[in-house]
Amino acid sequence: EPEVTQTPSHQVTQMGQEVILRCVPISNHLYFYWYRQILGQKVEFLVSFYNNEISEKSEIFDDQFSVERPDGSNFTLKIRSTKLEDSAMYFCASRRFGETGELFFGEGSRLTVL
């Protein structure tokens, strides 16, 4: 069964450092997303990406965040200067179509900022 894969599974970083989280969406999917989940809280939307550009972003996705699809398979989330409050699980998701249909999530990357 096709799946969304994410690396690393866990990253520990110092405050102010740059972090890149990587995702390989399902190969025939066209819509890509990043969500985050602070421990014990709900899953929050960060950004959606389609046709090599951001479709929509939330208030959380400020200038410290960026996304990129550098090649035909990877989809990355970069945090330029991490803050303590960036500590969370970051989930990548993909969907074949934009309207409806199952949104497939990866297993997540746990980011711990010290």
Partner 1 sequence: GESVGLHLPTLSVQEGDNSIINCAYSNSASDYFIWYKQESGKGPQFIIDIRSNMDKRQGQRVTVLLNKTVKHLSLQIAATQPGDSAVYFCAEKSSGNTPLVFGKGTRLSVIA
Residue numbers at the binding site for partner 1 (CB under 8 A) = 4, 31, 33, 35, 41-45, 48, 50, 55-56, 58, 91, 93, 98-108
Q: How far is the CB of 106 from partner 1 (least distance, A)?
A: 5
Q: 65 or 104: whose CB is closer to partner 1?
A: 104
Q: How far is the CB of 80 from partner 1 (least distance, A)?
A: 22
How far is the C-alpha of 38 from the C-alpha of 22, rounded, in Å?
A: 18
Q: 8 or 16: whose CB is closer to partner 1?
A: 8
- Nearest C-alpha neighbor of 53 from the set 31, 73, 34: 31
Task: Read off φ and ψ for residue 37, nearest 5 degrees.
Answer: -140, 110
Residue 57 CA: distances (Å) to CA of 2, 11, 12, 47, 72: 26, 24, 25, 4, 22
Q: 17 or 57: whose CB is closer to partner 1?
A: 57
Q: How far is the CB of 100 from partner 1 (least distance, A)?
A: 5
